[in-house]
Structure 1
Amino acid sequence: MRGMWMLCRGLRLCGTRRTVRRDSRAGMCTASDEHQPTFGLLFDIDGVLVRGKTPIPAARKAFQKLVNNHGQFLVPVVFVTNAGNCLRQTKADQLSNILGVPISQDQVMMSHSPLRIFRQYHNKCVLVSGQGPVLDIAKYLGFSNPITVDSVCESYPFLDMVDHKRRPTILPSTAVDLPKIDAVILFGEPIRWETNLQIITDVLLTEGHPASPHRLSSYPHIPLLACNMDLMWMAEARSPRFGHGMFMVCLESIYKKITGKELKYEALMGKPSEVTYHYAEYLIRTKAAEMQWNKPVQTLYAVGDNLMTDIYGANHYNRYLQERNSRKGSKTLVQTGSGARVTTVSQDVEATWESELSCPSATHCKSVLVCTGIYNPHAEVPADPTQSVTETVFHGHRDFRIDPALVEPGHVVPDVNAAVDLIFQLEKFLPTGDNGTS
């Protein structure tokens, strides 16, 4: 764990020059086969590019090195965020403004993006929890019959009773029936936690009929899919803020306290889940194809600020890639490093997204930790810098096993600009010509 407590020294770019040429299509830059790179970049947003709404100065410097003078990316770039309260185009527009380079929505990976491949729920009635345009997001992802927590409260106002000011003064004589809810989707942290916790619990304990009496014997409950497991995230405050993972902890605790049983998830999406990185790798392959690359992208570099999500997720996916290369068609877990790969979806679900997204071309996913967000290199350091992370508090989700190897970053750098310098050095990639970074 020594690397977790040390900053990388300044890096000097060196290596082979690469020949690039413009493509007539906007936003793309093609490379000749002889000099074509074989890597792609995955960037976290909060804590890496911004703090809340404040851009991190190193971000613009970094992205000037990744595009030519026409704003075309020299290598495939995808932004992988655990945020889920807006549409991809909205986030792309925000990033374009922050970074000063054109970003398209197909370069943005929201925590809820993998829900596109869960087609078995698209025609069912699903309850969606979160804030922002959750109905628009659900429909954009392919769900034809989503309903919100607010719509449940409007139909059954007597269910939401914690806030005395919002209690109905006159209970309706007849309730407006809603269709049976077949699944629950958690997009992100809601506004009124007590309301969402109550209604979601009602839905889970009534097999999708929230106005009916609770049936504690009804187990397992209807499918629950969750996006964004971040316990905390870094905004303008000097200390981390509660994330959607904290809301999930509350829901899990409430369900177990009432029933004595564990809340179960059909799937967990967002970093550090495998399906998120598999989907991001698919987007990288798509961008490489648009750039007319003939060589496969073999190495992914995942840049983030959070050991428990960004670093764990990248290392977890790297372990998946190693296992996949080793098993040669076998579904048996392969011992890699200090333990077997941890999966948080059923084999059927895993087979579905592997089929939908096709086989990855990457063979490695390397983690790069920056010091501008959650990770603080100036925090109190243990007397023994090799102290196992298992002796510290684990902020990852309940369903992920703590593994010291998975939270050990491949590299630690001061900021995202240094991260780009490091990656270019490791790949011996020094763009020249019209991008002006030489």
Structure 2
Amino acid sequence: MRHQIFRIASQKRSRDCILRPFFDNVTRSLSQNSSQSERPSFGVAFDIDGVILLGHTPVGGSPRALRRLYDDLGALKIPYVFLTNGGGFPESRRAAELSEILGINILPSQVIQGHSPFKQLVNRFENEFVIAVGKGEPAAVMTEYGFKNVLSIDEYSSYFDGIDPLKPYKMWTAREIGNSVKTKRGDVVSKRVQAAFVLSDPVDWSRDIQLTSGAL
């Protein structure tokens, strides 16, 4: 198997092949509660930062505008999604945050982040040993997608003594919060990484580039 690094900003043809079935699934899930005659012929994709929210504050009348997409009984009239190139956290967590801030029930399927298309690669790498790169909780994201043998780049690096000679001079901590149960060192060192998934911008670029290149 050829070892690969996956990042959303890849060639357009490859990106389209991954995104097309994902958007088809979103469209079906949002319209399944309506009859064919009632389904609108269009949907809306909203960016989040600077359009719906500024930080954690709604922009203008964005909550009121979103409520107009529902009928008086609270049923969705016009399907919509939040489309953002951000990420690093599970869609379920992002949906819960948006729901609380906007006062509207947002489903995880309505949140499309930069790494959401990685769900389409579960069948290919479900049981393979892979690493997840980026700030936030990259391993938790991949686990929620269905990947069964994944470590964050921070946890992976912890198994190799002296892998980062500049570590004593770095004043930040990039370790993933809420990490999984510690894997035995021998199991990690003896395994070959089959793929690396970049979910968000790393905090420690120099270490992550070095470690990912060496692992693959």
- Shared fold, TM over 0.5: yes
Task: Identify if the C-alpha distance between structure 1 residues 182 and 32 changes in structure 2 by more than 3 Å, giving closer, same or farther.
Answer: closer
Aligned to 1:125: 129
Q: Is residue 153 of structure 1 aligned with residue 181 of structure 2? A: no
1:171-210 pair list within 5 angstroms: 176=186, 177-203=189-215, 208=216
Q: Secondary structure at the match of 1:79?
A: strand
1:301-320 pair list within 5 angstroms: none
Aligned to 2:106: 103
Cα deviation, 1:304-340, whole Å, max 9, x if unaligned, reads: xxxxxxxxxxxxxxxxxxxxxxxxxxxxxxxxxxxxx
Instruction: Measure how far apart 1:37 and its partner are.
Output: 2.7
State the TM-score, normalized to the length of structure 2. Answer: 0.69
Q: Distance in 2 between matches of 1:31 and 1:146?
A: 41
- Alignment RMSD: 2.4
Task: Identify if the C-alpha distance between structure 1 residues 63 and 181 changes in structure 2 by more than 3 Å, giving closer, same or farther.
Answer: same
Bigger radius of gyration among the two: 1
Counterpart among 37, 44, 49 of residue 46 in structure 1: 49
State the TM-score, normalized to the length of structure 1. Answer: 0.36
Q: Is residue 79 of structure 1 aligned with residue 91 of structure 2? A: no
Q: Distance in 2 between matches of 1:100 and 1:28?
A: 23
Instruction: Measure how far apart 1:160 and its partner are.
Output: 0.7
Instruction: Measure how far apart 1:141 and its partner are.
Output: 1.2
Letter in 2 for 1:44: D
Q: How many residues align?
A: 169
Residues 155, 178 of structure 1: 8 Å contact kept? no
Task: Identify if the C-alpha distance between structure 1 residues 130 and 117 changes in structure 2 by more than 3 Å, giving closer, same or farther.
Answer: same
Instruction: Measure how far apart 1:32 and its partner are.
Output: 7.9
Instruction: Measure how far apart 1:179 and its partner are.
Output: 0.9
- 5+ long unaligned stretches in structure 1: 1-26, 167-174, 209-438
Q: Distance in 2 between matches of 1:155 and 1:111?
A: 28
Letter in 2 for 1:89: S
Letter in 2 for 1:179: K
Letter in 2 for 1:72: A
Q: Secondary structure at the match of 2:151?
A: strand
Aligned to 1:61: 64
Query: Which 10-residue stretch deviates more, 178-187 or 66-75?
Result: 66-75
Aligned to 1:92: 95
Q: Post-superposition, which runs of at least 4 consecutive aligned residues in structure 1 deviate over 3 A?
A: 27-32
Letter in 1 for 2:200: G
